[in-house]
Amino acid sequence: MDPFATLGFPPKYDVDLRAVEKTHRELSRALHPDRYASAGASERRAALNKAADVNEAWRIVRDPVRRAEALFALAGVEVGETKEPKPDAELLMEVLEKREALADAKAARDAAKVHALADEMMKREQQVEAALAHAATFDASLVTKLGEMRFYRRFVDEASSILEQLE
């Protein structure tokens, strides 16, 4: 499934999420099974399948990592953590250090430090996003960006669950 085509948008990273959300809403209004409650079985099934596609497409497009994955897949580049080339050693080292710092901050119950680390990683993720937004094509040379983004994302998720525990 091409999530961009499903929602009627050109396949690029830099999308207007508000506009996509509005389209998703209009599509839901047209396709939601509630609208076909008294229709025949073939129509109910067709509506259910399309509504599911539209929801899935919106879930992909609004998520920065999934959106990038979809664009690589459309360009014929294999994605998925086991199929992508390993990120470079320098980045791995740095991520390892940051993770240790996060673990230390958690052990010290230092919420401010956890916040600061999460903010830093969030900024890094935004830089990757900006780079992808300017990419002309999604070829294999860019695919390491995906792994990088997943690192940041996982880090931020972990930080926020630590904050939940600390607060």
Q: Binding other proteins by CB under 8 A: which of 5, 17, 108, 166? A: 5
Phi, psi of 10 (to 5 degrees): -65, 145
Minimum distance, C-beta of residue 18 to other proteins, in the bound complex (Å): 11
Task: List CB contacts of 98: < 8 A, sequence separation 6 or more.
Answer: 117, 120, 121, 155
Question: Is residue 112 within the footprint of other proteins (CB under 8 A)?
Answer: no
89 vs 87: CA distance, rounded Å = 7
Instruction: Give the footprint of other proteins on residues 56-95 (CB under 8 A).
Output: 56, 58-59
Q: Which of 36, 59, 57 is nearest to 46 (CA)?
A: 36
Question: Is residue 35 within the footprint of other proteins (CB under 8 A)?
Answer: yes
Question: Is residue 153 within the footprint of other proteins (CB under 8 A)?
Answer: no
| Contact footprint for other proteins (CB under 8 A) | 1-2, 5-8, 23, 25-35, 37-43, 45-56, 58-59, 160, 164
